[in-house]
Structure 1
Amino acid sequence: MMQDDNDWAALQRSWQAGQSAPAEPAWLKAAVRREQRRARWEMLAEVLISLGCAVVLASWAGTSRGWTAGILWALVVAAGISPVITIRLRLATWRGRGDTVTAWRGQLRRQARLGLLLARLGLIGGPLGLVLGLALGTFGDMSQIDRTLAHGLIGPVGLVILALGWCWALHEARRHQRTLRTLAAEDERDEERA
């Protein structure tokens, strides 16, 4: 009878030892908080830039005629909706799933994957926006903009903005890929220890 009690106690100890997670790395918790703080600033900048774009596009749409006005109003709607969508996506990744190492890694992994997706969309959206803007400026009825000013100033400014946006999106994509590689290496180390 005494032997059975010892077996159950040993089983309980081994089961509880399996339940405890390894010590939480401080860098993991700090990385999640740093990503959340950075995402808040990015969301604020995105909302302000989108609102600014919507105001400019709405003023242009108000003075344009024909199909150009329709496209500009559609862009106003897109400029208003896009930050709402990205904010909802980012807030979904912030919901805490627990205080274990696995939960922190999962949250950091979700944030990195979302950041990588948004960076890739930025790489696609930048050239698309530039082409659409140049097409509207060249072929559209944008009589409120002086044609010489439009071709002399807007083209180079658009290219500079495109180049800066591409550099930023590439930087963000690489940063998120590094985070995912680091997490994968941590997972492999944990599997080797087990």
Structure 2
Amino acid sequence: MKKEARPYRDAALGSRYLTGLLLALVTLAGAAQAACTDPAADGVNWRRCYMDGRDLKDVSLDQAMLRETTFQRSDLSGARLSNADAYRAKFLSARLDRAILDGARLIEADLTRAELSGASLKGADLRNAKLVGAVMKGADLTGARLEGADLRNADLTGARWTDGRACGSGSVGQCH
């Protein structure tokens, strides 16, 4: 016995399916786009943006979404990035001296050769972060998580270590 085609029912189901699919695609596309052109502000969504070479001195980016954003050679001196989510962000050769990164999520972030002198990283999550050759003189790492972080050739002279002790002169790659 052959099934009888039901053109009206099949067309209605197909139409609802296509409408739902289009709605899902529009919703997902809107959610995936970061507002890379938005000005610097607390809570800004700069996810997967290119901010290379920017002058962002003294800006406030508290609680900003900075996942997978690149700030290569940018100047963030004195900037506030408290509780920012900068998972896998790239700060290669960036200036972050005197920056406030307290509670920031910097898991797997690349801070190779970054200038972090006098920066505050209290309670920051730097697990598996790359800090090769970073200058961290006088930085405050109290309560920071550094499991798996690569500190090769990082200058920690005068830094406050995760346990609160001061790193002595000649602290390169590890706190002495």
Length-normalised TM-score, structure 2: 0.24
Which of the pair has the greater relative contact order for Cα pairs under 8 Å at 6+ separation?
A: 1
More helix by share: 1
Length-normalised TM-score, structure 1: 0.22
